[in-house]
Amino acid sequence: MAERIQLTKKDRFSVAFRHQFLQGSWNYERMQNGGWCYSMIPAIKRLYPNKEDQIAALKRHMAFYNTHPYVSAPVVGVTLALEEDKANGAPIDDEAIQGVKVGMMGPLAGVGDPAFWFTLRPILGAMGASLALSGSIMGPILFFVAWNVIRFAFIWYTQEFGYKVGTEITKDLSGGLLGKITSGASILGMFIIGGLVQRWVSISFTPVVSSVEQATGAYIDWSKISSDAEGIKSALEQYDSLGSAGLNQIKETTLQANLDQLIPGLAALLLTLLCCWLLKKKVSPIVIIIALFIVGILAHLAGIM
């Protein structure tokens, strides 16, 4: 019996490296097919020594393919295992390989999108951005390094996992693991987005809803403060006990302060829910964004914000 042809670790790594360029030739006809075929080349070169088999393999891998670019890695792994068996004489036809690819890409894309685009990237992006807003270079570095370490570790280990487990993986996938990851990522994602809406959507209503003349003692009587260090000390002591409301005799309450007493960020929450509703009504996000700028300008001119 001839010795079994196997993919070396270097071959598999080379496939994983190329797989990072999966979406490079993304097209409206067969989507990620070109990048997929490009990724498979090192394996095809290793497994099929003669030209006809190479041509058949290349054509086989130019078929329609589209999934999330990272969770595509286990599909690559399984396909490598199948190709290896086929090269060693197992009766695996083109349809079987395409069937495995198509069968895995749908459910996996359903995990990749919430896990990477809607949970991990908003979290890392928001962490990086909140540092960056103060001009700190740590923000971009944190985002870039953390993302790429997680990303490459993920694509390499899941590809190896797919390669070792082979088609058995489809059993694992249907066994509820994918469902659990999706639901865990969605829960985490929704929790974080809730927090981000509160922290980062800023709306501030400026109209003054009430101005009350405060009783003596509830505000700092600036005429009685002497203009030396003692005076400053006394003013600060009074401020400490009275709070910012004690700075002026007239206590002004803005609409925003009233809303914040209900719950800080209420207006931001309502705006976000309005956007959700508009998006569901198929209003383009671009239209909403431009409308918000116009609303911002008009509301500022009208003195509301």
Partner 1 sequence: MSFITILLIAVVALLAGMEGVLDEFQFHQPIVACTLIGLVSGYLEEGIILGGSLQMIALGWANVGAAIAPDAALASVASAIIMVKGLGGATDAQTVIDSAIAVAIPLSVAGLFLTMVCRTLAIPIVHFMDAAAEKGNFRGIETWQIIAILMQGVRIAIPAIALCYIPAEAVQAALEAMPAWLADGMSIGGGMVAAVGYAMVINMMATKETWPFFALGFVVACISEITLIGLGVIGVVIALVYLGLKESGGSNGNTGSGDPLGDILNDY
Given its phi and psi angles, is residue 252 left (phi above 0), alpha (psi -120 to 50 degrees) or beta?
Answer: beta
Q: Applying CB under 8 A, does 255 fall inside the site for partner 1?
A: no
Distance between CA atoms of 77 and 158, rounded to whole angstroms? 8
Rg for the chain, CA atoms, rounded: 30
Residues from 46 through 105 that contact partner 1 (CB under 8 A) = 51, 54-55, 58-59, 62, 66, 69
Buried b (16+ CB within 10 A) or exposed e, 67-99: bbbbbbbbbbbbbbbbbbbbbeeeebeeeebbe
Selected from 7, 46, 79, 128, the binder of partner 1 by CB under 8 A is 128
Can you read off the two tokens belonging to residue 62?
């130019």
Among 200, 218, 231, 252, interactor with partner 1 by CB under 8 A: 200
Is residue 132 involved in binding partner 1 (CB under 8 A)?
Answer: yes
Distance of alpha carbon 209 from its chain centroid, rounded? 40
Binders in 262-301 for partner 1, by CB under 8 A:
263-265, 268-269, 271-273, 275-276, 278-280, 285-286, 288-290, 292-301
Strands (E), 201-291: 208-213, 250-254
Q: What is the smallest separation between the CB atom of 221 and partner 1, expressed in angstroms?
A: 32
- Tell the smallest beta-carbon distance from residue 248 to partner 1 (Å): 24
CB of 18 vs partner 1, minimal distance in Å:
9
Task: Tell me how far, at minimum, the Cβ of 94 lies from partner 1, in Å.
Answer: 13
Number of Cβ within 10 Å of residue 112's Cβ equals 23
Minimum distance between the CB of residue 62 and partner 1, rounded to whole angstroms?
A: 5
Among 126, 178, 225, 242, binds partner 1 (CB under 8 A): 126
Total chain residues near partner 1 (CB under 8 A): 108
